Amino acid sequence: MKAALDSLSKEQRLTLKLYYFEGYTFQEIAEQMGHPYGNVKHHVYRGIEHLRRIVFDGVADRTSPEAS
């Protein structure tokens, strides 16, 4: 699981941590990070989708930082 988390972008890891583990809302995360609300939602949903693909399909997203 650590490898899957490490394959996320820095923004995705941070927003997932703040949202799921620390209980912040999207709005609170946006204010804390200085990012637009929509970007925060995008990072969370794209991060979750990326983790699902790795865990359930064994396939990493081709746009992951490691693929670059």
Domain limits, the chain: 2-67
Residue 64 contacts residue 50 (beta carbons within 8 Å): yes
Q: Residue 5 corresponds to which tokens in the numbers above?
A: 């988390």
Give the pLDDT confidence score for residue 68 in this predicted structure.
39
Report the distance separating Cα 15 and Cα 33, nearest Å.
Answer: 9
Report the distance separating Cα 24 and Cα 52, nearest Å.
Answer: 22
Q: Quick one: average pLDDT of 17-39? A: 96
Residue 66, number of CB atoms within 10 A of its CB: 10
- Considering the entire predicted model, what is its pTM? 0.76
Residue 68, number of CB atoms within 10 A of its CB: 6
Q: Is CATH 3.40.50.150 what the domain over 2-67 is classified as, yes or no?
A: no
Give the pLDDT confidence score for residue 63 in this predicted structure.
52
